[in-house]
Structure formats: C-alpha cells, structure tokens
C-alpha cells in the first residue's frame, strides 16, 4: 500500500553519519583520559602478565650486571706571577682525583666480565696513582680485577675478578644480534650516573647504524632505551634475557640540552663475542681493510645493490683504489645479496690474504681491485692523544671522533668530519666561562691573518709553536649555529 508519510530512514542515516564518528571519538578520549570506560577482564590480565614478565626479566638480569669504578689522578701546576709580572707554572705539581663509573656484564661463572674499553682506557695502572675496581650486584665491597685483553677496534675489554670466588657468579648468555630487527623490545641495564641497578626498556630503532669512515665498517644497534653516562659496558638484552648488545654511547644532539635525547647505541653482541673469543683464545688479530658498506634499492633492477659508503684515507682499500660511491658487483667472484652478508665475507678473511673486488664506478665496470687484509691492531686508527696548548691559552684539545662528527653535523656543522674538539678549559684560562669542553676549536690564525679552519691538532700545535712574540693569535670556536665565539690572545 502506498503512503504519503515521508520515510524516516534518510533522517536516521544522516544522524548516524554525523553523530556516529563523534561518539567513537568521545569513547576514545574517555578511554585515554580516564573517563569510566570499562575494560574487559582479559585485557587487564594481559597487561598485568606483561608487567610481571618485565619484572621477572629485570630481576633475573640484574645480578649479572656489575659496576666498574675508576679513579684517575690528573697532574696540574698552579700558575703564579714572577717578579716581572709574567705568569709562570709552579715547580711542584699537584694532583686532582677524577672518579669515574661504568657498567659491565658477567659472562662466565668464574668471574669473566665484559665492558667497554673506553671506560678504563685512560687509566695508568703500571706504577701510577690510578685505580680500577668492580662491585658486584648489591655489594658495596670493591673487588680488584685483572685486564685479560683488549680489542680497541670493537671497544671491548675482558676483565677477570682476582682471587678465589666464594660462589659461582650468574653469567648472561649471548644472543644473535643478526636476528634482531627494528621494533624488537629490549632492556638496557647498568649504573647511569652511578645509580645502581637501573633498568630501562624500549625498542630497537636500527640494527645496522654506521657512524663514519673511521669506524671501518663497525655497525651498532640503535635503541630508544634511556642510556646515560655510566651505562657504558652494561648489557642490552632481548626478552629471552640474552645479551644482544653492549651499551656503548649516548648520541647527544645539543650539548647544552642536559637531558636524554632519544638515541642510544650498543655494540652488536656478535661483534662483542667475536672480539672476546679472539682475546680468550688468542686466535689472532681482527682484520682491517678500511671500508664501509651500505645498500639501497636499485629501482631499475627491482632489487637492492651494495655500495661502498666510505673509504678510510690511508687504508688498504684506499691504497688499492676503492673509492666512496663504488657499487659492488662481486667479492672474490661471489655476488652478495646485502651489505651485512658482504661485510661478513670481508671480516672472515685472514690477515695477509687478498680480497678481489669487482665494482662499477659511474656505471662503468672497473678492472678487478685487489685489497690486502691487514691487522686491525696495526692498521686501524690510533685513538688521538689530548694536546695541551699551554698555560697561556689554557686549553686541552683532541682530534674529533666519528661519533662526534654525527652529533656536530646534526647541529648544523657543514665543514666535514675532520676537526679539533676542546677537552678541558683551565680554571685561570681567559676562555673560562665562554668556551667549554665539547666545543669545536674551528679555526686559528697568527699575526693578523684571518683564522683558517683546523682539521687536526697538528695544525694548531704548529701555529702555537710558531706564534711570534708581540703578535696576536686568533681562535674561533663553534658549538652550534647560535654559538660561534672568537678570541684573540696577545703575546
């Protein structure tokens, strides 16, 4: 039967279209901000179970984490004015104690401990005043340790507790860092700022992070776990409680922002374990060729291509003729699918052997290039020494590292990866309060010359040593685009 009464269906449909999404938004907001939206019992129990799993994992891991206590005695001489009013250092030296703390992880029941080399490398333990001790979980007693061996390239050192242990220690097992993926949940353990038994949780942000040519192919795990000074050497673990990384460094974007900025780095467990095995088994030095490898999608072929993203100046690879930007076709006659596979092939070669690279450069196939494998201990870059520019200037400086290059470039530095970094400002230096450790000594000039950019400490040392009496020495400093500071010294 026909009716002239208008249908209400279009009206209800219009209301549903308008108010339905609004209702869903209100429910979501209420759930987020605590309005009385009821949760199901299953959802609550799953959250509680997850929380308990994290708690049990942390409780099981922490007894395997140790604190590494260091003490360095720094010699200094006070500056006094002589009869003529000239500043002169006193004859007798004084000493200032600089304590430090890092973390480590127990890897054997009889007291083998793995930590970062940089945690202890500044110590003078042969007749000096410096000290090295380790404290076990929930102990205040400081125990003496022996240094079993060092792998400076990987930045790991193996320590061993001295004497007979009163009990077997709880070691952590190594996991396979090659099986970790971006997004995996991880925990970082250690003693940041000396705060014992600290656990932070996050995810892996990147599993093959590279930091610059001087790392010679070294890759790191990147995580958003909160990692701060003092975490170095502690374990990064997966949800099985296995070591998948050794906490290595904090990425610092802005030096004047004194908070964690979201990026921590860890040595991959496979690299740390390989270095430890070489130390313990005396199985020969790590190899070194001086290249970095990366990969990208080849849109023309629809697959990934491996290319050389960096070549260390003076390295075997550079001497043989490999260059940044070369695209790998074969290594030793093998076509390798990705950068990790290619790098493993290179690393597994022995010292003294030759590796054949077939590459394309500017889309042109090059003749085979043969690179001789050297020992990393002999060929890898030596950590730069800290240089004292003299009491008149009151600065100690050092060549910058690859890690610092990443940080400075993120803040706007555009003048390359070779630079000089301020490490110490003397209390009586004219620069105190203006320049601070971590700033770049960007340029220098003598005798009215415009300051020229500095690449290394040798250049500034030559300028200071040739600084003639009665002339000016101009120094330029850089922290970020908002802090660029010049100062002129007069002899």
- Domain interval for residue 213: 49-283
Could you read off the pLDDT of 294-341 as tens digits, one per residue?
787 776 666 778 888 777 767 788 889 999 889 999 999 998 878 878
- Residues marked as catalytic: 118, 155, 232
| Judgement on whether residues 441 and 363 belong to the same structural domain of the protein | no
Any idea what the CATH number is for the domain that residue 128 is in? 2.40.10.120
| Judgement on whether residues 303 and 256 belong to the same structural domain of the protein | no
Say if residue 94's pLDDT is above 70.
no
Any idea what the CATH number is for the domain that residue 316 is in? 2.30.42.10
The CA dihedral of 53, 59, 61, 66, to the nearest 10 degrees, is 160
115 within 8 A of 464, measured Cβ to Cβ: no
Distance CA 431, CA 479 (A): 14
In a domain, 264, yes or no: yes
In a domain, 352, yes or no: yes
Could you read off the pLDDT of 386-418 as tens digits, one per residue?
899 988 899 999 988 766 776 676 677 777 667
Report residue 254's pLDDT band, with 50, 70 and 90 as the boundaries. very low
Could you read off the pLDDT of 11-36 as tens digits, one per residue?
444 454 444 544 444 444 444 444 45
In a domain, 13, yes or no: no
Last residue of a domain, one of 379, 409, 432: 379
Which segments of 183-341 are extended strands (E)?
185-190, 198-209, 220-223, 235-237, 243-250, 264-268, 287-288, 291-298, 303-311, 327-331
The pLDDT value given to residue 201: 93
The pLDDT value given to residue 156: 93
Closest CA to 241 of 175, 190, 196, 170: 175
Q: Which of 76-85, 439-448, 481-490 is predicted with the least confidence, judged by mean pLDDT?
A: 76-85
| Judgement on whether residues 331 and 470 belong to the same structural domain of the protein | no
Distance CA 299, CA 304 (A): 8
Last residue of a domain, one of 283, 305, 332: 283
In a domain, 329, yes or no: yes
| Judgement on whether residues 141 and 61 belong to the same structural domain of the protein | yes
The pLDDT value given to residue 381: 54
In a domain, 37, yes or no: no
User: Which two structure tokens, joined as six digits, stand for 407?
Assistant: 């940080």
Q: Which of 237-246, 257-266, 277-286, 438-447 is predicted with the least confidence, judged by mean pLDDT?
A: 257-266
Say if residue 56's pLDDT is above 60.
yes
**Total count of domains within the chain:** 3
């Amino acid at each position: 039967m026909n009716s002239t009464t208008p249908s209400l269906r279009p009206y209800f449909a219009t209301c549903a279209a308008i108010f339905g999404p609004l209702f869903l938004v209100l429910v979501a907001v209420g759930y987020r901000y605590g309005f009385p939206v009821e949760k199901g019992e299953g959802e609550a129990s799953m959250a509680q179970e997850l929380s308990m799993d994290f708690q049990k994992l942390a409780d099981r891991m922490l007894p395997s984490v140790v604190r590494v206590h260091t003490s360095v005695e720094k010699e200094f001489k006070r500056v006094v004015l002589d009869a003529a009013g000239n500043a002169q250092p006193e004859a007798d030296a004084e000493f200032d104690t600089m304590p430090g703390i890092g973390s480590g992880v127990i890897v054997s029941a009889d007291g083998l401990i793995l930590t970062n080399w940089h945690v202890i490398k500044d110590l003078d333990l042969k007749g000096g005043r410096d000290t090295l001790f380790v404290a076990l979980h929930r102990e205040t007693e400081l125990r003496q340790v022996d240094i079993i061996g060092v792998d400076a390239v990987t930045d790991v050192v193996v320590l061993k507790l001295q004497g007979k242990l009163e009990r077997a220690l709880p070691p952590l097992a190594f996991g396979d860092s090659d099986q970790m993926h971006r997004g995996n949940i991880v925990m970082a353990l250690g003693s940041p700022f000396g705060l014992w038994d600290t656990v932070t949780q996050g995810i892996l942000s990147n599993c093959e992070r590279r930091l610059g040519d001087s790392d010679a192919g070294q890759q790191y795990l990147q995580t958003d776990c909160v990692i701060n000074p003092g975490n170095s050497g502690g374990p990064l673990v997966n949800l099985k409680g296995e070591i998948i990384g050794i906490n290595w460094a904090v990425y610092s974007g802005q030096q004047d922002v004194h908070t964690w900025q979201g990026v921590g780095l860890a040595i991959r467990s496979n690299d740390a374990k390989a270095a430890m095995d070489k130390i313990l088994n005396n199985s020969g030095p790590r190899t070194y060729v001086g290249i970095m490898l990366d990969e990208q999608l080849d849109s023309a072929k629809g697959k990934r291509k491996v290319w050389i993203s960096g070549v260390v100046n003076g390295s075997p690879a550079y001497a043989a003729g490999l260059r940044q930007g070369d695209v790998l076709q074969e290594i030793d006659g093998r076509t390798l699918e990705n950068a990790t596979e290619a790098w493993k092939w290179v690393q597994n070669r022995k010292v003294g052997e030759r590796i054949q690279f077939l590459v394309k450069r500017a889309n042109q196939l090059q003749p085979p290039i043969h690179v001789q494998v050297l020992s990393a201990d002999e060929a890898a870059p030596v950590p730069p020494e800290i240089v004292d520019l003299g009491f008149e200037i009151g600065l100690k400086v050092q060549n910058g590292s690859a890690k610092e290059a990443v940080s400075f470039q993120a803040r706007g530095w555009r003048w390359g990866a070779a630079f000089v970094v301020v490490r110490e400002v003397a209390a009586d230096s004219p620069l105190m309060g203006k320049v601070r450790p971590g700033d770049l000594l960007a340029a220098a000039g003598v005798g009215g010359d415009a300051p020229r950019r500095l690449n290394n400490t040798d250049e500034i040392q030559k300028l200071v040593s040739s600084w003639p009496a009665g002339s000016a020495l101009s120094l330029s400093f850089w922290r970020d685009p908002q802090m660029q500071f010049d100062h002129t010294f007069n002899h």
